Structure 1
């Protein structure tokens, strides 16, 4: 059975969340101009083995905008608490991976495992480039049209002929402005950058990246796999940053095999 419900969060408002299945808890976290539709093609299959929850981050999708500074990590804790989870497997893409990492450092007892997909990480210095400078400027100016245009060209670079574009394009365009506003409301602690504390991650970790993702995401993936004790790196063919929609079958193989990996910790492979 699938259920949806609003989850109250600090400062007022709520997060929209969907729960399905039965088994070990697994929570899905999306990226900065996405919402829970990112997981459309894996959600039902994961629910055959897990109690799986996906939710729209603050100010995205069907969740309400922030009215005061907030922390994505506190919102994740509210989700876990609302569903009565004592711990959970966390699967995060892009910003969602960064949130999962920060949460695992802050609340290690709540995290059974981490699957970091095309993840960003606090403290990593991106090289300057005209495209990324334009992308950052569009976010600073909350220019929704430009954000969506650059998002689709830089991050969904396999284009409209690859699987999943029918979900990607409307999701990006609908979240571009709200996502930029939400990022500005997120309270960051630059003294606690995760990139300098990767060796403190205790949870079994799998790092996943598409072979057509932004090159710097590949650099970050290597940094995460090298820095997190026992982490495993998986490179997925024919996938850009929108890996759950581009290559859902391969991602499901990895995630559903993750319980086995979590018990033997280690190694690297590609596929």
Structure 2
């Protein structure tokens, strides 16, 4: 499926994949800077933003590859945040020729055993949704995934995106129940981090969940030559929390500036 997407700018190709609490609007604060130098494709994964959920299971990485074809992107540097980072790794595993470089921000690694803080979050969210309290679930997600640098406008944007996501998912579950079928889910793609052989930068935030930071540690240890950059001000969504800080960093990484990680 060709995902809802937009392509802006000119220059080397960059693909942006959003977090599971957001849609492609999460990249708005840094688009002006990136598109001055790069041709940027950003897409809504299925069930997010303007991409509908299907009735059957699907593979996110195949959708991204098909969308790259539609945009005439032979290959690209792929930047993913959280869920988007997982899909970026799956794209690398399933369509290795499409990815030149990876920037994985707060990566959500499917193989990681959920930590205590993530299990507590998931249990609380599930209880709120079971009780029909969507607004409380939205507030929980905003409080969990945004770090202290985020302003009120950013918190409102994340709340709007998360509210739309939950309504889409709940509607799909209700439709599946009516049809007597399980709701559609993305089929996972096995990823062997030791088989990722493209330059890889893993970006983490000091205010992120301990589970996410531990998962990033595991990923950096497993991907050959991977580098780690920890942001002392960031939570799970640094491009939203402090775009003025993250934009120049990303630009330097994407330009392959050898001094970007120098102390």
* TM-score under structure 1 length normalisation: 0.82
CA contact (8 A) 1:32 1:179 kept: no
- Verify the 8 A CA contact 1:234 1:269 in the aligned structure 2: no
Of 37, 46, 50, which residue of structure 1 is paired with 2:25? 37
Alignment of 1:1-271 (within 5 A): 9=1, 15-128=3-116, 129-136=119-126, 144-158=134-148, 161=151, 164-179=154-169, 181=172, 185-189=184-188, 193-194=190-191, 197-259=192-254, 261=256
- Distance verdict in 2 for CA 1:199–1:257, change over 3 Å: same
CA distance in 1: counterparts of 2:254 and 2:20, whole angstroms: 28
Point out where structure 1 has 5 or more consecutive residues left out of the alignment.
1-8
- Give 1:88 deviation, angstroms: 0.7
| Partner SS for 1:91 | strand
Relative distance call for 1:259 and 1:233 in structure 2 (3 A) is same
Structure-1 separation of matches of 2:222 and 2:130? 31
Deviations 1:223-257 (A, max 9, x none): 11111111111111322112111121232222211
User: Equivalents in 1 of 2:19, 2:233: separation in Å?
Assistant: 20
Q: What's the offset of the Cα at 1:131?
A: 3.0
Unaligned runs of 5+ in 2: 174-182
* Greater mean deviation of Cα atoms: 33-42 or 60-69: 60-69
* Conservation of the 8 A alpha-carbon contact between 1:72 and 1:186: no
State the distance in 1 between where 2:112 and 2:150 align. 30
CA distance in 2, matches of 1:216, 1:108: 28
Q: With structure 2 as the length reference, what TM-score do the two structures score?
A: 0.84
For residues 66-85 of structure 1, the C-alpha deviation after alignment (integer angstroms, 9 at most, x for no partner) is 22211111110111110111
- Answer whether contact 1:94 1:119 (CA < 8 A) is retained: yes
Moved more, 93-102 or 121-130: 121-130
CA distance in 2, matches of 1:111, 1:140: 39
Q: Distance in 1 between matches of 2:104 and 2:186?
A: 22
Partners of 1:106 and 1:15 in 2: how far apart? 18
* Corresponding residue SS for 1:164: helix
Report the Cα distance in structure 2 between the residues aligned to 1:142 and 1:102, rounded to whole angstroms: 33
Larger RCO (CA under 8 A, 6+ residues apart): 2
For 2:131 and 2:72, locate their aligned partners in 1 and report how far apart those are by CA, in whole Å.
39
Q: 1:176 to 1:215 in 2, by over 3 A?
A: same
Q: Determine the C-alpha separation between the residues in 2 that align with 1:137 and 1:72.
A: 27
What SS is found at the alignment partner of 1:185? coil
RMSD in angstroms over aligned alpha carbons? 2.9
Query: 1:136, CA displacement in angstroms?
Result: 4.9
- State the shift of 1:138 in Å: 5.5
